[in-house]
Structures are given as structure tokens and as C-alpha cells.
């Protein structure tokens, strides 16, 4: 049973099971945009899409050994700030309780900063360590 009480919270939370639930979870964590968010703040959404393309390019340059570690970290931090704004506009919720649970609540600014910061720290560290161990990134 889900405790979803607001229309901005994920409608799929209560209905999804198995692989469908896992696919929704992965999408929810990796893609900050929502249809509702895209309809509202067009300028913010366009800016965030452009920044996402640029950050992806930075990771690509890093993978080719053409970008230093400090610059990759700076770009990743810039992306994280933008992601907080985008998620607050389109996916303003966080999980309450265990990660495999289906309890959500409306996120405050600090909730979203902590969620995005920790999520991006894990993703960035994984990418950074992978590139470094493959000899593709200089520090």
C-alpha cells in the first residue's frame, strides 16, 4: 500500500510490481524531468536539458582522457544544483523509509538537496573511480 496523497507524487508507486517497479525506480532516480515539470517552467527545463547534454559531453571527454578530474567534479556539482531545481519543479517528492518501500512525501528544499547530493555522489563516484581505474582520467 502506498501513502501517496498528492498529485505530484509518483502515480506508479502503488501499482507497479517486479520488473516494472524496478524500471520505474531506475527512471525516477536517473531522469529528473517529469511531464508536469516540462509543461510548467519551460526556461528551467530547457536550461537543464542543455546542461545535461553538456555534462554528458564532459564525462565523454573525461572517458577519452581529455578532461581533468577537478573540472569533471565542477561540472557534476553544477549539474547537481540544476537537478535540485528541476526536481523541485517536476518531481517534488522523496521516499520516506526504506529504499524498497513505496512511501513518499513532499520534499522540502533541504530534502531535495540531500537526495540529489547523495544520489549524484554515488553516481559520480562510480563513474569517477571507473574512469580512473581504467586510466582514462587524470587527477
pLDDT tens across 75-130, in order? 889 999 999 999 998 889 998 888 778 888 999 999 999 999 999 999 989 988 88
Q: What is the pTM of this model?
A: 0.78
pLDDT at 1 over 50: no
Please name every residue paired with 104 in a beta bridge, in sequence order, or none if there are none: 95
pLDDT at 39 over 50: yes
C-alpha cell at 112: 531535495
Mean pLDDT score of the chain, rounded to an integer?
Answer: 83
Which residues does 87 contact at the CB level (< 8 Å), separation at least 6?
32, 107, 112, 115, 116
Residue 24 to residue 17: CA distance in whole angstroms: 10
Amino acid at each position: 500500500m502506498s501513502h501517496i496523497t498528492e498529485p505530484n507524487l509518483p502515480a506508479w508507486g502503488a501499482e507497479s510490481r517486479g520488473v516494472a517497479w524496478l524500471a520505474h525506480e531506475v527512471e525516477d532516480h536517473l531522469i529528473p524531468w517529469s511531464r508536469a515539470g516540462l509543461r510548467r517552467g519551460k526556461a528551467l527545463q530547457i536550461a537543464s536539458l542543455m546542461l545535461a547534454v553538456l555534462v554528458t559531453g564532459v564525462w565523454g571527454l573525461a572517458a577519452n582522457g581529455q578532461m581533468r578530474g577537478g573540472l569533471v567534479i565542477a561540472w557534476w556539482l553544477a549539474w547537481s544544483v540544476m537537478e535540485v531545481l528541476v526536481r523541485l519543479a517536476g518531481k517534488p517528492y522523496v521516499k520516506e523509509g526504506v529504499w524498497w518501500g513505496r512511501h513518499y512525501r513532499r520534499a522540502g528544499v533541504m530534502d531535495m538537496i540531500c537526495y540529489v547530493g547523495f544520489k549524484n555522489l554515488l553516481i559520480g563516484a562510480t563513474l569517477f573511480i571507473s574512469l580512473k581505474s581504467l586510466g582514462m582520467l587524470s587527477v
